[in-house]
Chain A
């Protein structure tokens, strides 16, 4: 870590370290925003603001990547919670619920494997993505998801089993 680019409010984070994981963080933000690039970029920007203001403080207890991923995850959750409550208000007022901003954009539906992953329950989908696609250990993935390692492991095992059954059904088996 270069001394010169250490963040004032986050002494264990540097600009260069963030730049090194920028691409991976964007991938994660993209996945958290239903593959909407504009929303993903906004999420990233917000995550950097949290780090710059010291609202999200990294204390070196995990890797920086795990920490930034969890910041993005929390921001995405609160963002969608806000949207959901707004949607409920609109529905309660009997107004139209058609809103482009909250319609998730479907990823490439032709990819059977990706579709199978998307059909998994939320927690299972997250851990599969973090471990298989984002190079994380189950421990780190559990940290990002805000669950215990034991729970993370249970989600991981269940997800793998479900995924293998689904893929065998569609003829893309991954038998041991």
Chain B
């Protein structure tokens, strides 16, 4: 830095001091205000994030659950009790002791006639 720079610096500082005269605001006051502002910002951010999350959840729920279908609840006991299944016609099978062909029906034959034809 040359002599002229040093002189310029000194002159500028004087000029600057005359422009910037007055008290500097107390650090503690500015710091406390900044802290308060930070707390407000954090609270606002939490509210915004919460609202967005709730909105996303509501939209997702609305998209995933099909509309117009009634929900049905299954009784847990009934479900656990259903361990085997048989067709309703199984009752007709031989191993169920009921055979429709086991007994052949007896047909009574008529020998009497009426008007030339068998009754």
Contact = CB atoms under 8 A, between A and B. Distances in A.
B20 A49 contact: no
B8 A133 contact: no
Contacts of B42: 53
Nearest to B9: A132
Contacts of A44: 25, 30
Interface string A32-51: 00010100010011101100
Interface in B21-58: 22, 24-25, 27, 30-31, 33-35, 37-38, 41-42
A153 interface: no
Interface residues of A, number: 37
A128 B30 CA distance: 28
A48 B28 CA distance: 12
A65 to B, nearest CB: 15
A114 interface: yes
Contacts of A128: 12
Secondary structure of the A contact surface, majority rule? helix
B7 interface: yes
Interface in A44-75: 44-46, 48-49, 52-53
Contacts of A167: 8
Interface of B: 2-5, 7-9, 11-16, 18-20, 22, 24-25, 27, 30-31, 33-35, 37-38, 41-42
Given A49-B41, A111-B18, A160-B8, 5 more contacts: A30-B20, A48-B34, A52-B38, A175-B4, A176-B4
9 contacts: A35-B19, A108-B18, A113-B15, A133-B12, A133-B13, A160-B8, A164-B8, A174-B5, A176-B2
